[in-house]
Structure 1
Amino acid sequence: MRWQRTVTMVEAHAEGEVGRVVTGGVIDVPGATIADKLNHLNEVDDSLRRFLVFEPRGAAAMSTNLIFPPTRPDADIGFLVLQGDKAHAMSGSNSICLTTVLLETGMLKMTEPETVVRIDTASGLVTARAQCHDGKCERVTLTMNPSFAHELDVDIDVEGLGKVRVDIGYGGIFYGLIDAAQLGLEIRPDMAKRLVEAGTAIHRAINRKLDIRHPEIEAIRGIAYTMFTGRNERGELKGATILPPGRIDRSPCGTGNSARLAVAAARGEARLGDRFTARSIIDSTFEVTYAADTTVAGRPAIVPTISGRGWIHGIHQVGWDPSDPYPNGYSVADTWGDAFDLLN
């Protein structure tokens, strides 16, 4: 074996969504802040993301998390999320995977019954409170980034679908939130392909027609994902986040439910202290709480908390032989979807 690059990862999932964590082989990415590192990966050099995310070393239905020394004094660890289209600023399920891996591998010291991990993200500080027992990180509760409704009841003309009404919400990244019922869709595993096709088309249309920018963080602009919303027969939240270039988040989605809760608060449908159960397309759950009121650049905002579980399920090492013709991997539409215009 004569690898010229070797990367070791611990594999984990949070309520079904795979978020592997790089624990060796990547020392750093240029940038003084995590937002600077995000910009470097997306605008300057994308080769590391492609190497780790695309086939044959990666797969469509997963994320890969890079960790760094924190760039701010009030944090314990910095991280970025690598996905099929680009690097992203924040993810709730990946934060749960990250916390679980750091504590259960001993990279950060576990204290029972609770360990606090402060995460430096491109969208600000996220605090993880891990309930720990007998060496196991049993549940992680995230105090998320301040979240807000950016724009409500926006009518978007979407090719193949006609006029679709969406809400634009921010929960650490921007979302286009769509009531699935308006398109005659239900959030079920057998409808996954139809949800992906519709969500991808709406994603394209929103970012083509709307100029969406975070008022304080220049690196965050445009929606990252769409999220179909609904409720089940028990009245619990049901959601399906559509990630470019064409797949569904297997978890209930932390940033998506933060954005959804902020939109509900703006409509008067959620109040301080309210707690909801959010279910994914595979029926896994997060607990979502309206924890506090705040502001972002003078506009009303909320602080959500997201609570869920993570599990380590493997250790993975990948490398590159100099004769391998695919150092940056490849993606094919049969598994990656046909939205290649959404690939960075």
Structure 2
Amino acid sequence: MQSLPGKHGVVAYPARMSKPLEITIVDSHTEGEPTRVVIAGAPALAGRTVQDMATDLAAHHDWFRSAVVCEPRGNEVLVGALLVPSADPTCATGVIYFNSAGLLGMCGHGTIGVVRTLAHLGQLAPGPVRLETPVGVVEAQISGANEGIEVANVRSFVHRAGMTLRLDDGRTVHGDIAWGGNGFFLCEDHGEAIELSNLPALNQVACAIQRALERDGLSMVNSYPVDHVELLGPPRAPGNHGRSFVYCPGGAYDRSPCGTGTSAKLACLEAHG
């Protein structure tokens, strides 16, 4: 193996291969976000559960994650989904999600992409389906070939409510730390307009919140990182209840509504009555 330094540490790549590595993928698109499903060509992963295999992927095969979703073959917006065997006989498959920064616990748009891809390949029929992820089993319902797909996520909950954070620039923000399959800090008093034209400022304040969480020792939910920041604001359309911006690990913003972020937000709404 040879090790090459990267933005997020050292990534180990195979020094030599007897032949070019062939990876079979299917790309899909879900409400603004792409998913790249790995059908074949992945290294064999050690472990019985999907969580075990995800740990092995991160520890010993991170070069594969990088090769699938990072430039020049991918980009920071792309989410990868590696299909693996499931130890749960009620599940159609196991799946490990990842992006340009590392592994993800769950991914809402990615789950829709996986289910739609497997249906497109003739491996799933309309009806219910269960998938094992590193953070638990999720359920989906396929309505038809050209209809919607519903996803029932893992249990979501508020980890710490009413947190106060002092940012590097001196301002203070408040919010909740919640779990929706990934760890989130959800904040309303960030002072920024939730508009596409305001992306630089939104990215800046979300990054500052992440730094403050790490500085104050608040960057974990149980054993998982709080690696997403969700900035909330008033709705643009009168029939809606709110508007949000989700900052993802690696510095990209979510182009979709963010399934795990929506789950975390619903947990906060329920907790606050």
| TM-score category (smaller protein) | 0.7 to 0.9
Q: Which of 172, 182, 190 in structure 1 is aligned with 2:197?
A: 190
Q: 1: distance between equivalents of 2:135 and 2:154?
A: 7
Q: Which of 103, 113, 119 in structure 2 is aligned with 1:103?
A: 119
Alignment of 1:256-275 (within 5 A): 256-268=261-273
Post-superposition offset of 1:101? 0.4
Alignment of 1:236-315 (within 5 A): 236-268=241-273
Q: Is there any run of 5+ residues in structure 2 with no aligned partner, and where? A: 1-17
Aligned counterpart, 1:167: 176
Secondary structure of the 1:198 match is helix
- Cα 1:141–1:43 shift into 2, 3 Å: same
Post-superposition offset of 1:130? 1.1
Q: 1: distance between equivalents of 2:255 and 2:170?
A: 25
Q: 2: distance between equivalents of 1:251 and 1:144?
A: 16
- Cα 1:15–1:37 shift into 2, 3 Å: same
Matched to 2:184, the amino acid is Y
* TM-score normalised according to structure 2 size: 0.87
Q: Which of 167, 171, 184 in structure 2 is aligned with 1:158?
A: 167
Aligned counterpart, 2:68: 52
Secondary structure of the 2:80 match is strand
- Cα 1:263–1:252 shift into 2, 3 Å: same
Matched to 2:132, the amino acid is D
Matched to 1:50, the amino acid is S
* TM-score normalised according to structure 1 size: 0.70
Q: 1: distance between equivalents of 2:110 and 2:75?
A: 16
Post-superposition offset of 1:211? 4.4
Mapped pair 1:92 → 2:108: yes
Q: 2: distance between equivalents of 1:222 and 1:119?
A: 22
Aligned counterpart, 2:15: none
Mapped pair 1:16 → 2:32: yes
Alignment of 1:116-195 (within 5 A): 116-132=128-144, 136-160=145-169, 162-179=171-188, 182-195=189-202
CA root-mean-square deviation = 1.8
- Cα 1:161–1:54 shift into 2, 3 Å: farther
Aligned counterpart, 2:89: 73
Q: Which of 23, 34, 57 in structure 2 is aligned with 1:41?
A: 57
Q: Which has the bigger relative contact order, CA under 8 A and spacing at least 6?
A: 1
- State whether residues 219 and 227 of structure 2, in contact with CA within 8 Å, keep that contact through their aligned partners in structure 1: no
- State whether residues 185 and 230 of structure 2, in contact with CA within 8 Å, keep that contact through their aligned partners in structure 1: yes
- State whether residues 79 and 97 of structure 2, in contact with CA within 8 Å, keep that contact through their aligned partners in structure 1: yes
Question: Can you list the C-alpha shifts for 1:187-231, whole angstroms capped at 9, x where unaligned?
Answer: 21111222112112211221332345555xxxx422021111123
Q: 1: distance between equivalents of 2:192 and 2:205?
A: 10
Q: Is there any run of 5+ residues in structure 1 with no aligned partner, and where? A: 269-344
Secondary structure of the 1:22 match is strand
Secondary structure of the 2:115 match is helix
- Cα 1:22–1:213 shift into 2, 3 Å: same
Question: Can you list the C-alpha shifts for 1:30-85, whole angstroms capped at 9, x where unaligned?
Answer: 22111112222333432111111221111111111111121212211111111121
